[in-house]
Amino acid sequence: MSNPILHLSGVTKDYWLGKVKVPALRGIDLEIGKGEFMSIKGPSGSGKTTLLNIIGLIDNATGGSVLLDGKDVTRETDKNMTRLRLTKIGFIFQTFNLIPVFNVIENVEFPLLLLKDRTPAERRRKTMELIDAVGLRPYVHHRPNELSGGQRQRVAIARALVTDPEIILADEPTANLDSVTGKSILEAMKEMNERRQTTFIFSTHDAGVLQYARRIVEIHDGLLTSRG
């Protein structure tokens, strides 16, 4: 790959359960290019979440290196990691995606407020643009508990995209949704990927979801068995 946005080499992750070492990742080498729409597939406990957390700078690798945009981010400070998450990475979690006391607009706008350097007009424009893109215009003043599961995930997609990150990570984003809603979420993600060239990496158990992926990476027991 000519210019990968992400480059993992020899990434390992060990968990410790008391004195017992649990090797969750055992040497992952992977390159991901700009604009990919990629899925990570594997049985339960194979290390999908662990891998996504490391890519997303939510967790530290035990060994190996992660290059983001050619820069090694493995040993960054917490402050810098946080800043990278804010500016370069977007997250769509399975649950607990949104701030309960904020409505749709406020949730989508939240990362922009953390960025601090946008004017209110810029923020408003960007926020509304993304809310429109995920089709939630009629629900802007709803709080998360006043939205369906699928609507919440759409808010999460809009929120993840609002800072124009380079990568969006989603760990089983449809696990809590019915298959029809799940597919519509994938449609929305794919549309964003095509329109904005944002890289999407998601994990799933769901074959119906998997079919949207343009590249599928397989993981077993902490090792990649297929790079797609």
Partner 1 sequence: MKSETAGGPASGRAFLTHTALLFKIAWRNIWLHRGKSLIIGIILLTGTVVMTVGNATITGMDKGLQKTLVDGLLGDLMVIAQSTDEAWALLGNMGKSADLIPDFEKVRDVVTNDPGIMKFLPMDFGMFMAVIQADSASGQPPFVVPLGVQYERYLEMFSNVAIVKGRGLRPGESGILLHHTTADRLFKTYGSIFSPVDDPYAFTNYLPPEAGSNLASVIISTDLIIVGISDKKATLDIRVPIIGIYSNQRIEFGGQGFDLIDIQSYRQGMNYTLGDEEVKLSASENAMLNMDENALFASFSENVSGAGAVLGDVKSLMVKKPAVKAVDYDRGGTEILALRLKDRRQAEEVRGRLTKAFKEKNLKAKVIDWRKAAGTLANMASVIRIALFVFVGFVFFVAGIVIVNTLAMATMERSSELGMMRAVGAQRGFLGEMLLTETFLLAVFFGGIGMVVGAVIVKILAAAQIQSTPGLLVLVFGGNVFNPLMGLKDFVQGGILLTLVTLLSVIYPARLAQSITPLDAVSRD
Ligand X SMILES: Nc1ncnc2c1ncn2[C@@H]1O[C@H](COP(=O)(O)OP(=O)(O)OP(=O)(O)O)[C@@H](O)[C@H]1O
Q: Is 96 in the site for ligand X (CB under 6 A)?
A: no
Stretch that binds ligand X, among 37-45, 59-67, 125-133, 162-170 (CB under 6 A): 37-45
Which residues, including other chains, have CB under 8 Å from residue 192's CB and lie 6 or more apart?
133, 157, 161, 168, 198, 200
| Interface pick for partner 1 out of 171, 173, 189, 200 (rule CB under 8 A) | 171
CB nearer to partner 1: give 68 or 188. 68
In angstroms, the CA 65 to CA 54 distance is 10
Q: Is 22 in the site for partner 1 (CB under 8 A)?
A: no
Nearest distance from C-beta of residue 173 to ligand X, angstroms: 13
Q: Is 63 in the site for ligand X (CB under 6 A)?
A: no
In angstroms, the CA 7 to CA 69 distance is 8
- What is the C-alpha radius of gyration for the chain, rounded to an integer number of angstroms? 17
Q: Distance between alpha carbon 98 and the CA centroid of its chain, in Å?
A: 14
Q: Is 42 in the site for ligand X (CB under 6 A)?
A: yes
Q: Is 86 in the site for partner 1 (CB under 8 A)?
A: yes
* 148 φψ region: left (φ > 0), alpha (ψ -120 to 50), beta (else): beta
Q: Is 101 in the site for partner 1 (CB under 8 A)?
A: yes
Contact 84, 73 (CB under 8 A): yes
Nearest distance from C-beta of residue 169 to ligand X, angstroms: 13
The interface partner of residue 44, options being ligand X, Mg ion, partner 1, none and the CB cut-off 5 to 8 Å by kind, is ligand X
- Binders of Mg ion among residues 3 to 62 (CB under 5 A) are 49
CB nearer to Mg ion: give 49 or 199. 49
Residues that bind ligand X in the complex, under the rule CB under 6 A:
15, 17, 22, 24, 42, 44-50
Residues that bind Mg ion in the complex, under the rule CB under 5 A:
49
